[in-house]
A = this chain, B = another copy of it.
Amino acid sequence: MYTTKFSEIVQKYDVVLFDSYGVLKNYNGIIEGARETMASLEKRKVPYRVLTNDASSSPKMLSEKFEIGGLNIKTEHIVTSGMMAKSFLSTKSINGKVLYLGTENSSQYIIEANKEAISISDYDDSLIHEIGAVVFLDDEGYQWSTDINKAVNLLRKRTIPVIVANSDKLYPVAKNDVSIATGAIAQLVESILNRDFIHFGKPDVQMFAFAFDSLIKEHGELNKSKVLMVGDTLHTDILGGTKFGVDTLLVLSGNTSVKNAESMIQSTGVAPDYIAESIAH
């Protein structure tokens, strides 16, 4: 497999979009070399955004976590899939409260959309006609067996919009261990009900379009052919970037390893334009 240097490739592009986990940080903290690379981009005033499938924390909280690791990423340069859910809830007519599966933290995205939030933990059958939408935000903050059953029974009786604010099925919790994520829980309910919910997050292109629009507002007209998406996951970062019509670079510092990159590209058919070991060099 032919790899290249990130620092050489990035020079061909005007704008860079980064995934977060596996590119800038991992279970161990900030990835080696990421501080220097991001500092260099800042210095050379290269416009960029960080696009993360995350609805459990706000951009501000994510920015603060980067800060603790010594990485300076401004809140307004972070685009979360939770922000897509917030944007949806802001413009779409919703008749009632928004029921959520997630932590109280995650419910901020609903409150910022000026909707009334109610946790699935606090929901019972008597409230069924007060609910106008359901949002899957996080895998924590509720009792799976009791509360997922509540959601299934509610949605068998009401046809209301259901939003999945993060389609990821897994997230890493240690070098070799993972945890089931919101996307998998939502899919369990979709499969039981035989329905397709509204999903936000890569590979869907909304986050790319949102980031691109905000970059245009800040920097004026931009050309998609001069945008590079950098990610560690073929079926979210690379597929999504490709679908949005921009070039893509796969880093081997996260989900996709040197060992399996070639066979995964072959079996999925999702091919990045470039491959680099990490964004370090």
- Residue in B157, B209, B260 whose beta carbon sits within 8 Å of that of A263 in the complex: B260
Per-residue contact bits, chain A 202-232, to B (CB 8 Å; 1 contact, 0 not): 0011100100000000000001110000000
Task: Say whether B87 contacts A198, CB under 8 Å.
Answer: no
- A39-47, A67-75, A170-178 - the one binding chain B: A170-178
With an 8 A cutoff between CB atoms, is A126 at the interface? no
A159: B residues at CB distance < 8 A: 265-266, 269-271
A124-156 contacts to B, CB under 8 A, are 139, 143-145, 148-149, 152-153, 155-156
Q: A247–B245 Cα gap in the complex (Å)?
A: 27
Task: Say whether A92 contacts B156, CB under 8 Å.
Answer: no
Tally chain A residues at the interface, Cβ within 8 Å: 64
- Kindly report which residue of chain B lies nearest to residue A224, judged by CB atoms: B91
A3: B residues at CB distance < 8 A: none
A198 to chain B, nearest CB (A): 5
Task: Say whether A194 contacts B144, CB under 8 Å.
Answer: no
Task: Say whether B161 contacts A271, CB under 8 Å.
Answer: yes
With an 8 A cutoff between CB atoms, is A239 at the interface? yes
